[in-house]
Structure formats: structure tokens, C-alpha cells
Amino acid sequence: MSMRALQGLGGALLGSLSRTYATEAVVAVGSNQGDRVSNVWAGLASLTARQDTEILQYGCLYETKPAYLEDQGDFLNTAVLVRTELGPIPLLDALKRIELECGRDVGGGIRYGPRPLDLDVVFYGGLDFRDERLEVPHPRWRERSFVVAPVCDLLPVGSASGAGSCSGRLEEARDAWRDLGGEASVGGDEIRRVIPTGSGEVVSLSDRSHIMGILNATPDSFSDGGLFQTTRESLTQARRMAREGASIVDVGGQSTRPGADRVGCQEELDRVLPVVEAIKGAGDLSRVLVSVDTFYAQVAEEAVRAGADLVNDVSSGSLDADMHRTVARLGVPYVMMHMRGDPKTMQSAQNTSYADLVSDIASELDAKVDLALDEGMMPWCVITDPGVGFAKTHDQNCEILCRAGEIRRSFAKGFLRRAPMMVGPSRKGFLGRIVGKEDPKERDVATAAAAALASAQGCNLFRVHNVGVASDALRVADAVGAFQPGRVRLPHTTANN
């Protein structure tokens, strides 16, 4: 054993005895039995509940085909970077106890077979360690894309030094990921980056451009207020958007245009619930996800119970203290948009002043995500939105469309850099100013151009009024973007997975 390995082992043993030496470790997580999402989250919750172990970084969630034994269900896989006071073997023992608590038959299970939860130590600092029970680094980690992909989502945090740090191992993982094909291998049948929908199902929103069609059940929205006042009119519009290519229909009961008056929670519920129920009850719309556009926790909860699949919150939880806790309990995807103030105050000089637009948006969204995670939200449920038109000037809106990729790369959390990013420029005033169109309904071509530009910056979801025009533009953007290095080429369809 090398001197470096001996030093690492000595530190690990000291940590297991005195609990004063903190070491970083990477733990791979998988499940393909039962409620896979709940199993993965329950395992990680048990791990972080320990006083001797803290989760520092989360990888994204991946759905992968089974390896070795193919006659079994698809797996959900992720990885976490932890700081632990446990040595390698005590950490292994802790993981095995968590597996047992989550229902795994450790003794009688089939090797490489189905399991409700699988927890493996991939790295333990910079240590090379081997005994009859454990070998780290994990002997087959390099050949397993379902391990390497989420490990590469983890960012070094500098919580340990020398042999106690995983930074060097994470660099090795990035090299291994390139050897396996890297990002170009994500999105096909073998491995997909996914988010939970709340029903135990998962969908991929990163494989191509997905359109969120705007359905405002309001009398005062800036471009379509009063058009869909009845449930029948709303259902007809939802069907039209689905035919034209929308993967998601976003139902809103409150205008958030600049200067808009706030509508009360009950009035918003009265507007959106019948529409959500009607869409979810329409058999021909079963493949379309339904989002509720609200900053009220009660509206979010009742809409999800009525069938909504996502919550789209322009305030990221800042306008209702119960929102993060509620969405975390519901377990649905949550669009967290960057905004300062509220619709009444967001366009003030104070709220549109930034030291650096890109870094300020990223850091402020990072902080909101921290609050949501503290309330128990699964990291894979987060969808970011840089907030075009919200606390932004004309020039700042244009800058976001140009630099959305930089915003993504500026997030302090690895999973956020790969999480779906939504952008919503539809019919907004800055586009009207550019093309000289005062009527918002005449800005659909400008909206499609903005969406295509955002797609080139790596945005995944596009919230628009005119789905047909945007869909054509994004088909072209996807076809051209498929030839960029590291992009997987997939067909553009109206399916949501």
C-alpha cells in the first residue's frame, strides 16, 4: 500500500475511533423495486439524519437500464458527496443498516438483482482500501455509467484536505465520464436524466425542448385575459396546445404582470381548480403534464391533489412562507423563478439593480434552493427559471437570453447545473420594444426567436402563449443543436417522456 494510502487509512481509523477527523466520501444510490423515488429519498434522509454524516452535494437523478442481470425493472440512480466521521467499514455498516430499514433482503437477494435500495461506497477520500467486505474505490465504478454520471454532477466543496478529500477522485470521474461518452450518452434508452412527478413516476425534461403552454383563467392577464373564463373554453385551449406540441399546460389564476393587483387565495382556487380537474379528467390529454402557476401554498396543495403535476412559483417561495414545506411534502417538480419584490414592486430601480446580473441571479436562486432543501424538498424536483421580465430591465432581459448558459454554470450546486431550466419570454414588453409591436398578440414570432436563442444556451422548457409558432422554432433549434459537441440527437415529439 502506498504511503498516501496508509496516511489516508490512518486518518480514517482515527476518525472511526475519535470522531474528530472528517472525511469526504461518495455514496452511490439505486432502486428498482417499489416506489423507487421514495426509496431513494428515504435512504438519503436516513443517511443525513445521522449525527456523524452530512450530505454536502447531490447528483442528479437518472433512470437507467439494469446492468449484468437484464431481466428486471429500470433503476433510479444518483450519488451524494458526504462528510463523515465514520471510517470505511463503519460507513459501510451504516449503509447496510439503512438498506435493511428500507426493506432490502441483504442476505437472500439475487446478486445484481432487483432491490428497493442499494447504497455503495464509491470513494472514501483519496483512500485505496481493500478487505474482504469492502474495496474503495469501488472496483467496477469506471464501467458503470449509472454510477459515473451522477458522480460527475458532484462539485468539490473543500471540506477536507489531503487524503480526506474526494476532489481528486471527482476529477478521475470526469475523465471516466468522457471515456464513456459523457453528456452525449444521456437521453437515450440506456440512461436518462429525470425528475419525479409526485406519483412515483419520472419524466425527462432535459432530453429536448419542451413547451409549457400558458393557460390563464384570468380576466386581466396582459395578452389573453378574459379569453378562457369558462372551463369549457380552457379545455378547448388545452387540447389545441397539446396538438401543437405542448408537453405541459400551465394553469394560472392570477396575473403577475408588472403592477398587477394581488388576487386572494380563494379566488385563485376558484379559477384554477375546475380547469386542472377538467384537463386531468380528459382521456385525450393523459400524456400532457399540468402545472399550476401560483405563489400560494394552499393553491399549490389543492391543485396537486386535484391532479396537477408541477408547481410554477414566480416567487420561489418568498411570497408564502409555507410554500417550500408544502411542495416538499407533495414531492412534485417545483419551478423556482428569480424575482425580487412582488409584481407591484419588482420593476423598481432598487429591484432591477445588479452588481453582476449572471452571478446575482445564480446566487439568489442558490439561496432559495437552500431554503427549499432545508424544508425537505428533493433536489431532483427543482426546475430553475432566470425570470425574464421579472425585476429585469429591457437590456437585462436580452442579456439573460444571451447568457442563460452562464447562469446555469454559476450555480454552486452540481445538480442545479444539470437541472431543467425554464425561460418565459412570451409576448413580453421588451420583445415588443425590439420589433415595434404594441399589441402583445403580435409578438409570437419574436417570442419564438427568443425561445430558440435560449435553447442554444441550454434552456429546456419554454413557457409560451402560441405553442404552434414556438414549436416550429424549437424543432429547428433542437435539430441544429443536436450537432453541437456533447449533445445527444433525439427526435422532437409531443410526448412528455
Domains and CATH numbers, the chain: 3-180 (3.30.70.560), 205-481 (3.20.20.20)
Per-residue confidence (pLDDT) for residue 103, from 0 to 100: 83
Q: Are 155 and 14 contacting, i.e. CB atoms less than 8 angstroms apart?
A: no
Active site residue 243: no
Active site residue 428: yes
- Positive or negative, the CA dihedral 62, 64, 69, 73 is positive
Per-residue confidence (pLDDT) for residue 20, from 0 to 100: 41
Per-residue confidence (pLDDT) for residue 228, from 0 to 100: 58
Angstrom distance (rounded) from CA 380 to CA 361: 20
- Nearest CA to 148 out of 124, 172, 129, 165 is that of 172
Quote the strand ranges of 162-209, DSSP E. 191-196, 202-203
One digit per residue, the tens of pLDDT, for the chain of length 497 reads: 333 333 333 333 333 333 446 899 999 999 999 999 999 999 999 998 999 999 999 999 999 998 767 778 899 999 999 999 999 999 999 999 999 998 877 655 556 668 899 999 999 999 999 999 999 999 889 988 999 999 999 999 878 888 899 999 999 999 999 999 888 889 888 899 999 997 778 999 988 899 999 999 877 544 454 455 788 888 999 999 999 999 999 999 988 777 777 889 999 999 999 999 999 999 999 999 999 999 999 999 999 999 999 999 999 999 999 999 999 999 999 999 999 998 889 999 999 999 999 999 999 999 999 999 999 999 999 999 999 999 999 999 999 999 999 999 999 999 999 999 999 999 999 999 999 999 999 999 999 999 999 999 999 999 999 999 999 999 999 999 877 765 544 444 443 33
Angstrom distance (rounded) from CA 357 to CA 327: 28
Phi/psi at 178 (5° precision)? -60, -40
Angstrom distance (rounded) from CA 190 to CA 224: 42
Angstrom distance (rounded) from CA 281 to CA 260: 32
Per-residue confidence (pLDDT) for residue 19, from 0 to 100: 41
- Nearest CA to 27 out of 51, 68, 58 is that of 58
Name the 3-class secondary structure at 80: strand
Relative orientation angle of helices 444-456 and 394-410, to the nearest 10 degrees: 30
Residues written for the chain = 497
Structure-block grid coordinates of residue 452: 430558440
Q: Are 328 and 372 contacting, i.e. CB atoms less than 8 angstroms apart?
A: yes
Angstrom distance (rounded) from CA 189 to CA 169: 28
Per-residue confidence (pLDDT) for residue 262, from 0 to 100: 84
Q: Is beta strand 210-216 parallel, antiparallel or unpaired with respect to 202-203?
A: unpaired
Q: For the whole model, what pTM was predicted?
A: 0.89
- Nearest CA to 11 out of 85, 120, 82, 91 is that of 85
- Positive or negative, the CA dihedral 295, 297, 299, 304 is positive
Angstrom distance (rounded) from CA 405 to CA 105: 44
Q: Is beta strand 289-293 parallel, antiparallel or unpaired with respect to 202-203?
A: unpaired
Per-residue confidence (pLDDT) for residue 484, from 0 to 100: 72
- Compute CA 251 distance to the chain's CA centroid, rounded to the nearest angstrom: 20
Angstrom distance (rounded) from CA 339 to CA 388: 9
Q: Catalytic: which of 83, 413, 427, 463?
A: 463
Q: Catalytic: which of 428, 437, 443, 489?
A: 428
Per-residue confidence (pLDDT) for residue 487, from 0 to 100: 56
Angstrom distance (rounded) from CA 19 to CA 54: 13
Angstrom distance (rounded) from CA 213 to CA 450: 16
Per-residue confidence (pLDDT) for residue 2, from 0 to 100: 38
